[in-house]
C-alpha cells in the first residue's frame, strides 16, 4: 500500500530518523513506539501529507484514502454530531442530491418516451448502483452504530459540535474517520478521552478492519490486542518487528542486553587501541603502526545503546500511620446538576486496605463522586472518614494547583520526606524529567508535563488512602509501569478512576460501577466486568449492533413461534437469576459490614465471618456464570 524509500526527517538538533526503507501492506496493524520526542507523530504527519520529508520519499498506491486522527484536532462546525458524520462523505452527498433532483424531475415531466427522460432513468439506475456499492443505504445505520460504540447516547448525537468538549470532539472526529472506511488509518493516541467500554469497542473494530492501521498509543493492552507489527523509532532509526508490543518489548530487551555486552567489549577494545596509539605515536619506528591503528579506530562503527533506566526503578508510596478498620463511610450520598441526577442514595463503607477501581462510561459521574467524597463540591448525604485516615487526592486538574514560580526540583523537594530525598533525581527521571529539565519553572511546562509533576508530588506525599482520578493521562508506557508497581505494593486503601485497562487490571479487589443513578459493587476481575457489561449491551463487536445478515435472514412463522417460546423461557430464567444476584449481593454487603466492625484480634470469630463471606461470594460468582450463559443464549 505504501513504501518508505530512504525516508528521513531533519530538525536543527539533528535527524529524528534517516535512511528508512520499509513497506506497509494491506491488513498490517502497526504499533508505532518510541520515547517522547522520537518522531512518532512526525512520521504520521509525513504519511498523511501534512508535512514533507526532508530526505527520501514515500511511494503510495494509487487512489489511496487516509484517515488521520491527530491529538490537536480543530473542528469548526455548527452541525450536530450526527449531521457532522452524515454529511462527511462528499461523494455520497453528491449522489444523494443528484438522486433527489432526478426523482423530482421524473415526477413533474411527462415526456416519457423522450431520449432525455430515458437518459435520466439510466443515470438514476447507475447512481442507485453506485450508492449501493458505497453502502449508502446502510449509511445511517453505520453512523448510529459507530457513535453508540464510541459512547454517544441518542441525546449526545443531537448536540452541536461547537457545544462539545475537546474530548467529545475527538470522539466525533474518530467516528467520522471510521464511518468513511479509509484504506489506511493513522491514529495518534486514539484511546485518549475514550472510556473503558468505548476502548474495547474500538479495539474489536480495528481487529476487523480490512485496511492498514498505523497507531501510536500509551495503552499497552490496546497495542497488544490490535497490533501485529511494531515499528520502534530509536537512535535516528526505525526498527521493524513482526510482533505485537509485549512480545516486541521482551525481544527488544534481550537484544539490548546483547548490545550492552557487545558495547562493553568494544569499549574495552577501543581503550586498549587508544593506549597503543599513545604508546607508539612518539616512536619513529612505530609511527606507521600508530597511524594504522588511528585509521582503524576512525572506521570503527560505535555501538550505541539506549538504556532504559526508568524500567529498573522501584518506587513505593510511603504509608502514613495505620488507620482504623474502616476508612470511609458514605451515607445516602447524592448529586444532581441542572435537574439531571448523577447518583442518589449511595451508602457504602470502605474497609482498610481495600483496592477499588471506579469504572463506567464518561459522563456518569465518576469524577463527581470523588469530588463529593473529598468535600470539594456540595452534595446530599454524609461522608465520614475513619480514625487516623490521611487522604492524598489526585484530581484531573491537579496540575493547575502547582506553584508556577517554583522549579521542578524545588516543587518535589518541598514535599519529599526521609530517605526519598536521596532519590529525587531518579524519581523525577521516572516521570521524564532529567538533566537540566529539573531546573525549569513550573510556569513554562506544558499541560502534560505539569500533570506528570503533580503525580510525582503525590508519590512523595505520605498517606494511607489514595483517591486518584485518571492518573495515567499524559504518562508514557514506562512511567505507567512505575506507577502501577508502586500501587501494587501500596499497603493503604485506594479508589482509582482510569480507562487504561492494562493499568487497572490486577490492581483492584472491588469494582464500583455507576449505573442507573446508583453504585453497583462487583467482585469481578476487570475482564469479568468487561464481559458482564458487554453481555448486557449485547452488541455485535464489529459495528455495535446486530449484524445486517441477522436482520435480513428472517425465520419462518413456525421457527419464529419456537424462537419466541425459547426467548420467553430464557428471559424468565435471566430475571430469576438477576433477582438471586440482587439478594446475594445484599447478603454479601451485610457480611462486609460485619467484617468492618468485627474485632480482628478475635481470630475464631473473625475467621468464621470471613469463611462465610468467601462461601457467599463463591455462590455469587456461580450466579454470574449462570447469568452470562443464559444471557448469551438469549
Tell me the average pLDDT across 295-318: 66
**How many structural domains compose the chain?**
3
Residue 153 lies in a domain: no
| Statement to judge: residues 507 and 560 lie in one domain | no
Residue 294: inside a domain:
no
With bands split at pLDDT 50, 70 and 90, how would you rate the model's confidence at 600?
low
More confidently predicted of 206 and 556: 206
The answer to whether residues 268 and 202 belong to one domain is yes
User: Which of 506, 522, 538 is where one domain is finished?
Assistant: 522
The pLDDT, as a whole number, for residue 482 is: 78
Task: Compute the distance between CA of residue 374 and CA of residue 368 in angstroms, rounded to an integer.
Answer: 10
Length of the chain equals: 634
Does residue 331 share a domain with residue 243? no
* Dist. CA 41–CA 35, nearest whole Å: 11
* Pair 571, 509 in one domain: no
Residue closest to 576 by CA, chosen among 526, 634, 515: 634
pLDDT band at 44 (very low <50, low <70, confident <90, very high): very high
**Residue 96 in domain:** no
Which carries the bigger pLDDT value, residue 301 or residue 583? 583
Taking the C-alpha atoms of residue 456 and residue 356, their distance in angstroms, rounded to an integer, is 21
Q: pLDDT band at 358, cuts 50/70/90?
A: very high
In-domain check, residue 23: yes
Whether residue 547 is predicted with pLDDT greater than 50 in this model: the reply is no
Give yes or no for residue 215 having a pLDDT over 90.
Answer: yes
The pLDDT score that the predictor gives to residue 230 is 93
Give yes or no: residues 472 and 578 share one domain: no
Determine the Cα angle at 463 with ends 459 and 464, to 5°.
120
Do 627 and 483 belong to one domain? no
| Within-domain flag for 599 | yes
**What's the CA gap between 521 and 582, in Å, rounded?**
11
Q: Evaluate if residue 174 carries a pLDDT over 70.
A: yes
Question: In which element (H, E) is residue 605 found?
Answer: helix 603-633
Residues 380 and 484 in one domain: yes
Q: Which of 476, 503, 522 is the last residue of a domain?
A: 522
Is residue 613 within 8 Å of residue 592, measured between CB atoms?
Answer: yes
Residue range of the domain that includes 440: 326-522
Tell me the backbone φ, ψ of residue 598, rounded to 5 degrees.
Answer: -70, 150
> What's residue 231's pLDDT?
94
Q: What is the pLDDT of residue 84?
A: 94
For residue 375, the model assigns a pLDDT of 92
Alpha carbon distance 17, 134 (integer Å) = 39
238 and 356 housed in the same domain: no
- Predicted pLDDT of residue 558: 60
When the pLDDT of each residue in the chain is averaged and rounded to a whole number, the result is 84
Higher pLDDT, 262 or 545: 262
Which residue has better confidence, 311 or 425?
425
The pLDDT of residue 544 is above 50: no
Distance of CA 15 to the CA centre of its chain: 30
Q: Which of 505, 470, 500, 532 is nearest to 198 (CA)?
A: 500
More confident residue, 601 or 113: 113
Question: Which pLDDT belongs to residue 24?
Answer: 93
CATH number of the CATH domain containing 426: 3.40.50.300
Specify which of 312-321, 385-394, 522-531 reaches the highest per-range mean pLDDT: 385-394
Nearest-5° angle of CA 591, CA 596, CA 599?
Answer: 105
Q: Please classify residue 313 by burial: count the beta carbons closer than 10 Å to its beta carbon, then call 0-12 exposed, 13-18 middle and 19+ buried.
A: middle
Stretch 55-68: mean pLDDT: 91
Is a pLDDT exceeding 90 seen at residue 475?
Answer: no
Q: What percent of the chain has pLDDT over 70?
A: 90
Which range, 30-39, 265-274, 306-315, 342-351, is most confident?
342-351
Residues 338 and 480 sit within 8 Å (Cβ to Cβ)? no
What would the grid cell of residue 112 be?
A: 416519457
Which residues have CB under 8 Å from 625's CB, separation 6+? none
Per-residue b or e along 125-164, where b marks 16 or more CB atoms closer than 10 Å to that residue's CB: eebeeebeeeebeebeebbbbbbbbbbbeeebbebebeeb
Rounded Cα distance between 305 and 327, Å, is 48
* Shared-domain flag, residues 353 and 409: yes
3-state secondary structure 6-71: EEEEEECCEEEEEEEEEEECCCCEEEEECCCCCCHHHHHHHHHCCCCCCEEEEEECCCCCEEEECC
pTM, two decimals, is: 0.67
Average pLDDT over residues 408-418: 86
Do residues 267 and 351 share a domain? no
Amino acid at each position: 500500500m505504501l513504501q518508505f524509500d530512504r525516508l528521513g526527517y531533519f530538525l536543527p538538533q539533528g535527524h529524528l530518523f534517516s535512511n528508512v526503507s520499509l513497506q506497509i501492506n494491506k491488513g498490517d496493524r502497526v504499533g508505532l513506539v518510541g520515547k517522547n520526542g522520537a518522531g512518532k507523530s512526525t512520521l504520521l504527519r509525513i504519511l498523511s501529507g501534512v508535512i514533507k520529508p526532508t530526505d527520501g520519499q514515500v511511494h503510495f498506491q494509487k487512489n489511496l484514502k487516509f484517515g488521520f486522527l491527530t491529538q490537536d484536532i480543530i473542528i469548526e462546525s455548527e452541525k450536530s454530531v450526527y449531521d457532522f458524520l452524515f454529511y462527511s462523505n462528499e461523494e455520497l452527498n453528491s449522489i444523494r442530491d443528484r438522486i433527489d433532483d432526478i426523482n423530482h424531475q421524473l415526477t413533474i415531466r411527462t415526456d416519457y418516451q423522450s431520449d432525455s427522460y430515458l437518459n435520466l432513468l439510466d443515470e438514476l439506475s447507475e447512481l442507485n448502483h453506485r450508492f449501493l456499492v458505497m453502502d449508502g443505504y446502510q449509511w445511517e445505520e453505520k453512523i448510529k452504530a459507530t457513535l453508540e460504540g464510541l459512547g454517544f447516547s441518542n441525546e449526545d448525537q443531537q448536540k452541536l459540535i461547537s457545544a462539545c468538549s475537546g474530548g467529545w470532539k475527538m470522539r466525533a472526529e474518530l467516528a467520522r474517520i471510521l464511518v468513511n472506511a479509509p484504506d489506511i488509518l493513522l491514529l495518534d493516541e486514539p484511546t485518549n478521552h475514550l472510556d473503558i467500554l468505548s476502548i474495547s469497542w474500538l479495539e474489536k473494530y480495528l481487529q476487523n478492519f480490512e485496511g492498514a492501521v498505523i497507531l501510536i498509543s500509551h495503552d499497552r493492552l490496546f497495542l497488544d490486542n490490535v497490533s501485529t507489527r511494531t515499528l520502534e523509532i530509536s537512535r535516528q532509526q526505525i526498527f521493524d518487528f513482526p510482533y505485537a508490543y509485549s512480545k516486541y518489548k521482551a525481544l527488544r530487551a534481550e537484544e539490548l542486553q546483547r548490545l550492552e555486552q557487545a558495547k562493553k567489549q568494544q569499549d574495552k577494545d577501543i581503550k586498549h587501541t587508544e593506549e597503543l596509539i599513545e604508546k607508539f605515536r612518539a616512536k619513529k619506528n612505530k609511527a606507521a603502526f600508530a597511524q594504522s591503528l588511528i585509521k582503524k579506530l576512525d572506521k570503527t562503527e560505535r555501538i550505541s545503546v539506549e538504556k532504559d533506566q526508568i524500567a529498573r526503578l522501584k518506587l513505593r508510596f510511603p504509608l502514613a500511620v495505620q488507620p482504623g478498620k474502616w476508612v470511609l463511610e458514605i451515607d445516602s450520598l447524592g448529586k444532581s446538576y441542572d435537574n439531571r441526577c448523577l447518583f442518589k442514595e449511595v451508602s457504602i463503607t470502605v474497609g482498610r486496605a481495600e483496592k477499588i477501581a471506579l469504572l463506567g462510561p464518561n459522563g456518569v459521574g465518576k469524577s463527581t463522586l470523588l469530588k463529593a467524597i473529598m468535600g470539594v463540591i456540595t452534595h446530599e448525604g454524609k461522608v465520614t472518614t475513619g480514625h487516623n485516615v490521611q487522604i492524598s487526592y489526585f484530581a484531573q486538574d491537579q496540575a493547575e494547583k502547582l506553584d508556577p514560580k517554583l522549579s521542578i526540583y524545588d516543587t518535589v523537594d518541598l514535599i519529599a520526606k526521609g530517605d526519598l530525598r536521596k532519590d529525587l533525581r531518579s524519581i523525577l527521571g521516572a516521570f521524564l524529567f532529567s538533566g537540566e529539565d529539573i531546573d525549569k519553572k513550573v510556569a513554562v511546562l506544558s499541560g502534560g508535563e505539569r500533570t506528570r509533576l503533580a503525580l510525582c508530588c503525590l508519590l512523595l506525599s505520605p498517606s494511607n488512602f489514595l483517591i486518584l482520578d485518571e492518573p495515567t493521562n499524559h504518562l508514557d508506557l514506562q512511567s505507567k509501569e512505575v506507577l502501577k508497581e508502586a500501587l501494587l505494593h501500596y499497603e493503604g486503601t485506594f479508589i482509582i478512576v482510569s480507562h487504561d485497562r492494562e493499568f487497572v487490571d490486577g490492581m483492584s479487589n472491588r469494582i464500583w460501577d455507576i449505573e442507573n443513578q446508583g453504585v453497583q459493587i462487583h467482585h469481578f476481575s476487570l475482564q469479568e466486568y468487561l464481559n458482564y457489561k458487554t453481555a448486557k449491551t449485547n452488541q455485535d463487536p464489529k459495528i455495535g449492533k446486530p449484524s445486517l445478515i441477522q436482520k435480513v435472514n428472517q425465520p419462518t412463522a413456525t421457527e419464529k413461534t419456537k424462537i419466541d417460546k425459547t426467548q420467553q423461557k430464557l428471559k424468565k430464567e435471566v430475571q430469576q437469576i438477576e433477582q438471586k444476584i440482587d439478594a446475594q449481593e445484599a447478603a454479601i454487603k451485610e457480611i462486609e459490614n460485619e467484617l468492618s466492625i468485627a474485632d480482628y484480634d478475635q481470630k475464631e470469630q473473625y475467621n468464621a465471618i470471613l469463611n462465610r463471606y468467601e462461601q457467599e461470594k463463591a455462590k455469587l460468582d456461580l450466579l454470574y456464570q449462570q447469568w452470562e450463559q443464559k444471557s448469551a443464549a438469549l
